[in-house]
Amino acid sequence: MSLQASNLTLGYGDNIVLKDINITIPKNKISILVGSNGCGKSTLLKTMSRLLKPMSGKVLLEDYNVFEKSTKEIAKKLAILTQTPTAPQDLTVFNLVKQGRYPYQTWLKQWSKKDEEIVNYSLEKTGLIDIKDKKLSNLSGGQRQRVWIAMTIAQETDIILLDEPTNHLDIKYKIEILDLLKDLNKIEERTIVIVLHDINLACRYADHIVAVKDGVIYSEGNPKDIITEKLIKDVFHINSTIIECPVFKTPMCITYQ
């Protein structure tokens, strides 16, 4: 399933954040959006997920404009995990993850055995099955983030968009979350798009990197092809040396003033 932006201009009120954006997300790959704070990464992700309406242009899922379809129709094809999702703290893990099945519920078709099987599969996939009856208030930050990802898995979409899914997590949980997303991509062939601040983690996990600068796409492609000292200087305004990671053989950025 293809996802693309066509001549997209985005903003808030009279403030234009991104102008005339054209981008096609590679199918069955991990794409990561990088750029300095305020460059428009999250705005682009939210618009491609239908949370924000563009000033002009289109977001195309296959061959139709996402803003011309119902929320439920889009939710069966595309899942979004925002940067700061919220839910009642007395909700259990199971009851939050089951919200991912909402797009498939109607007055005539309520909760089914298939729904329960998919929720349990999502819990197993994220290592949460043993704590499915725990309340959110009793979970660690890493566990909570896995619950939200489990909910997006339960949504059973071909495409998953995530805005800073490792935000506020220590390095152990960051790697755990990114490994989980890589597993979803490689084994289940889900198309995954992530906004990420850490350029070295982006290089390690991305098949395709999109660098955003001053409201435009500065560069995009395989990390090995596009991550250069010039890109780091232009996009992040800092000097760097790019070496090959001795473990993962991906670009590693060492910054300095």
Q: Does any domain span residue 48?
A: no
Does residue 116 form part of some domain? yes
Q: CA 21, CA 235: separation in Å to the nearest integer? A: 17
The answer to the question of residue 205 being in a domain is no
Distances from the Cα of 11 to the Cα of 43, 61, 115, 125, 192, angstroms:
8, 21, 38, 37, 24
- Conformation bin of residue 8: beta by default, left when phi > 0, alpha when psi is -120 to 50: beta
pLDDT tens, 166-222? Answer: 888 889 889 999 999 999 999 999 999 999 999 999 999 999 999 999 889 999 999
* CA separation, residue 167 to residues 73, 91, 180 (Å): 29, 22, 15
Say what the pLDDT of residue 6 is. 94
Whether 5 and 48 have beta carbons less than 8 Å apart is answered as yes
The tens digit of pLDDT for each residue in 16-30 reads 899 999 999 999 999
pLDDT tens, 33-71? 999 988 889 999 999 999 999 999 999 998 899 999 999
Element (H, E) at 253: strand 251-256
Q: What is the pLDDT of residues 86-124, one digit of tens each?
A: 899 999 999 999 999 999 988 777 889 999 999 999 999
pLDDT at 110: 83
Radius of gyration of the chain from its Cα atoms, rounded to whole angstroms: 19
Other beta carbons less than 10 A from residue 240's beta carbon? 19
Q: CB within 8 A of 121, min separation 6: which ones? A: 153, 154
151 located within any domain: yes
Q: What's the total number of domains in the chain?
A: 1
Q: Which domain holds residue 132?
A: 78-156
